[in-house]
Amino acid sequence: MNDTASTARDSASTDPGGKPGRIGDVILRVENITMRFGGVKAISDVSFDIRKGEVRSIIGPNGAGKSSMLNVVNGFYQPQEGSIWYNGKTYSPMRPHDAASNGIARTFQNIALFKGMTTLDNIMTGRILKQKASLLEQAFYIGRGRSEELEHREFVEEVIDFLEIQAIRKTPVGRLPYGLQKRVELGRALAAQPTLLLLDEPMAGMNLEEKEDMSRFIIDVNEHFGTTIALIEHDMGVVMDLSDRVVVLDHGSLLADGTPDEVRKNQAVIDAYLGVAHD
Amino acid sequence: MFYREAGQFKTSYAADQQMLPIPMDRYFVIGVVLVAAILIPAFGSQYWIESIMVPVLILSIAAMGLNILTGYAGQLSLGTGGFMAAGAYMSYKVATNMPDFLPVWIPVLVGGLFAAAVGIAFGLPSLRIKGFYLAVATLAAQFFLLWLFQSIPWFVNNSVSGVPSAPPTTILGYHVTGAQAIPEAKYLFVLTFVVILAIIARNMARSRVGRSWMAIRDMDIAAELIGIRPLQTKLSAFAISSFYCGVAGALWSFCYINTVEPTAFDIGRSFDVLFMVIIGGLGSVLGAFLGAAFIFLLPIFLNNVPGWFGLEIATDIVAHLEFMIFGAAIIFFLIVEPHGLARLWQIAKEKLRLWPFPH
């Protein structure tokens, strides 16, 4: 990991009050979610919360229900039981459009970019809910049809600068290497200026250097834009360094919930997932 | 194009987001439109204008329409002929029943809007079914619509033959539709629609609506999760695509065949337009024009080739050869360049940019 970043972060998270200053109130509560696919229980009665401004990780072995959990939070899966409380409203269930229009954006485990479109167009799609021009204005490229395009292009260029992908602006994303595609996908999520950003294994399949870059982007997004982040990741070094609090799932049930240190020392978590170093 | 894209720096996003950001492209397209609008009607022969330019331009409109649906929004459709018929019959009905002082482009637009409404109705299954299954659903539209217009005499003002002549209408005293109109007037009337609809298609492709279509085409699940509503997006593609087809159908009846008849819009027409889109290039406005010209002109070209070499071949053999060569050309194209003529043009430009150096 990037040393300076993690030390800065450590000092921030050991605030005397126990709670770091950048972290606010609870903005999302997952309440007793149970999700079944036929006879398989992917998630059973899981509850946890996410506070404003924190980096919240969800970890667990394969098949623990982590991705399903994110899919429930942004409405792609509709669970049989339970509800999502988000920003003062209870959704049971959350619907994709509710999630998107209330500032929940996400990236996917298997990249889900629009392969035939350029990097620029892909990131511009992240702004779609903020564009209000009528069809006629768009058809003739007048009024808001034109001014919105320019205004959102300007914002998208800031995202492109931030992610350092200026050179591939006009390249169709299907031609980009994996690491860059992951970055473009993060860009598309950021373009929506989300309140809550769900990242599903943003570093899967990356080499050390790419992981370091991605970690830096995640920290910057969290600290500079104040975006709340829910993260699924298998690299424990990354998880323990980045997260403020960690949820551990196993076989669809909540195994532990707490700070990285608490989770690391939890015997159930060690048995189910982390394991111990053999002497 | 012997010009360079290197060194053309943009200093504002407005300049970078123009429809044709490279000045040379812009001058070239403006030049083509000027030639089409001034030189061709002034110097082109009657046969050339009436029998080649007019139908190619009208089919380009239909191809642009299908390209919006299939190329941009990724929804396969075989109902193009039916939507064209919807436009033709409704604009005939309006043209023959409206007060004289209304301009002639109104019935054409109303025909387009009617086709758009029909397109929305037949687009509804697209939320549930995809790919070949959707193609079959749109095939139902093709047959149902033709049957409908043949069965309800109201559409043709209870005409006895069922195949009425296109109504003669005028702009500034010149006939632009029907049998009396001179080819140049029809041609300019059609060209106006082509230019405006092409500009609109390009504008939509670079705006929110175009990006929503492409997002649905490339990854519908991700599109839905970033807030694009699949039903509205697909239906808007069906509506706008059918609008283009409806306008093309109205113009086809009014300015080319001069009658309103179902055989002009049969399943063969749907396939023709689909071939135009595939061969021209999916997701490209330029491709619609290239495809329409290719599909319409290749048979004429093949028909004339033996004559140029002084070969005396029986007309029936020529006709069969035409089918065979045409079929082979389509298969060859699909294998060699599945992205169509528009992509070939792009590759040629990329190669010429480096020429004569290999890298």
| Mean pLDDT estimate for chain A | 88
Q: How far is B181 from chain A (nearest CA, A)?
A: 31
Give the pLDDT band of residue A4 (cuts 50, 70, 90). Answer: very low
pLDDT number for residue B6: 66
Q: Do B219 and A99 touch (CB under 8 A)?
A: no
Q: Is B347 a residue whose pLDDT tops 80? A: yes
Q: Which domains does chain B have, with CATH numbers?
A: 45-354 (1.10.3470)
Please enumerate residues of A whose Cβ is less than 8 A from a Cβ of B.
Answer: 74-76, 96-97, 99-101, 105-106, 108, 112-117, 121, 124-126, 128-129, 131, 133, 135, 138-141, 145, 148-150, 153-154, 157, 188-189, 192
Q: Do A113 and B226 touch (CB under 8 A)?
A: no
Give the pLDDT band of residue B5 (cuts 50, 70, 90). Answer: low
Q: Is A5 a residue whose pLDDT tops 70? A: no
Give the pLDDT band of residue B199 (cuts 50, 70, 90). Answer: very high
d(CA B87, CA B107): 9
Interface test with chain B among A123, A135, A153, A181, by most B beta carbons within 10 Å: A135
How does pLDDT run across A18-73, given as a tens digit for each residue?
445 678 899 999 999 999 998 889 999 999 999 999 999 999 998 899 999 999 99
DSSP assignment of B341-355 equals HHHHHHHHHHHHHHT
Q: Pairing relation of β-strands A104-107 and B169-171?
A: unpaired
* Backbone torsions φ then ψ of A46, nearest 5 degrees: -100, 135
Give the pLDDT band of residue A13 (cuts 50, 70, 90). Answer: very low
Q: Strand, coil or helix: what is B270?
A: helix
pLDDT number for residue A278: 61
Q: Do B226 and A114 touch (CB under 8 A)?
A: no
ipTM for this model:
0.86
Q: Pairing relation of β-strands A55-59 and A228-232?
A: parallel
Please tell me which residue, B99 or B208, carries the higher pLDDT value: B208
How does pLDDT run across B133-153, given as a tens digit for each residue?
999 999 999 999 999 999 988
pLDDT number for residue A198: 95
Q: Residues B247-254: what's their mean pLDDT?
A: 94
Angle in degrees, 0-180, between the axes of helices B230-251 and B183-205, rounded to the nearest 10: 170
Q: Do B224 and A138 touch (CB under 8 A)?
A: no
pLDDT number for residue A15: 42
Q: Is A76 a residue whose pLDDT tops 70? A: yes
Tell me which residue in B19, B203, B211 faces A139 most closely, judged by beta carbons.
Answer: B203
d(CA B284, CA B281): 6
- Contact assessment for residue A1 and residue A213, using Cβ atoms and an 8 Å cutoff: no
Among chain B residues, CA nearest to A155:
B13
Q: Residues B273-292: what's their mean pLDDT?
A: 90
Q: Which secondary-structure segment (H or E) carries A29?
A: strand A26-37
pLDDT number for residue B357: 74
pLDDT number for residue B4: 61
Please tell me which residue, B173 or B325, carries the higher pLDDT value: B325
pLDDT number for residue A16: 41
Q: Residues A176-197: what's their mean pLDDT?
A: 94
pLDDT number for residue A77: 92
Tell me which residue in A113, A153, A192 faces B17 most closely, judged by beta carbons.
Answer: A153
- Contact assessment for residue A273 and residue A60, using Cβ atoms and an 8 Å cutoff: yes
pLDDT number for residue A20: 55
CA distances (Å), origin B53, targets A33, B62, B194, B272, B289: 64, 15, 12, 17, 11
pLDDT number for residue A211: 93
Q: Strand, coil or helix: what is B130?
A: coil
Q: Do B206 and A149 touch (CB under 8 A)?
A: yes
Q: Where is average pLDDT lowest: A115-124, A245-254, B93-102?
A: B93-102
Q: Residues B6-10: what's their mean pLDDT?
A: 74
pLDDT number for residue A2: 43
Task: Say what percent of chain A tops pLDDT 70.
Answer: 91
pLDDT number for residue B174: 75
pLDDT number for residue A181: 94
Question: A108 to chain B: which residues are within 8 Å by CB?
Answer: 222
Question: A150 to chain B: which residues are within 8 Å by CB?
Answer: 13-14, 17
| Mean pLDDT estimate for chain B | 88
Q: Is A3 a residue whose pLDDT tops 50? A: no
How does pLDDT run across B293-324, given as a tens digit for each residue?
998 888 888 777 777 777 777 778 877 887 88
Q: How far is A126 from chain B (nearest CA, A)?
A: 7
Q: How far is A259 from chain B (nearest CA, A)?
A: 30
Q: How far is B263 from chain A (nearest CA, A)?
A: 33
- Alpha-carbon torsion angle A176, B68, A187, A100, nearest 10: -140
CB pairs under 8 A between A and B: 101
In 3D space, the residue among A131, A175, A134 whose CA is nearest the CA of residue A153 turns out to be A131
Among chain A residues, CA nearest to B14:
A150
Q: Residues B39-49: what's their mean pLDDT?
A: 87
Interface test with chain A among B12, B64, B207, B236, by most A beta carbons within 10 Å: B207
In 3D space, the residue among B52, B60, B315, B323 whose CA is nearest the CA of residue B186 turns out to be B52
Q: Is A258 a residue whose pLDDT tops 90? A: yes
Interface test with chain B among A138, A155, A181, by most B beta carbons within 10 Å: A138
Q: Strand, coil or helix: what is A193?
A: coil
Q: Which domains does chain A have, with CATH numbers?
A: 3-103+194-274 (3.40.50.300), 113-175 (no CATH)
CA distances (Å), origin B188, targets A107, A190, B35, B40, B251: 50, 48, 12, 10, 12
Q: Is A232 a residue whose pLDDT tops 90? A: yes
Task: Say what percent of chain B tops pLDDT 70.
Answer: 97
Q: Residues B155-175: what's their mean pLDDT?
A: 80
Task: Say what percent of chain A tops pLDDT 90.
Answer: 68
Please tell me which residue, A19 or B119, carries the higher pLDDT value: B119
Please tell me which residue, B191 or B352, carries the higher pLDDT value: B191
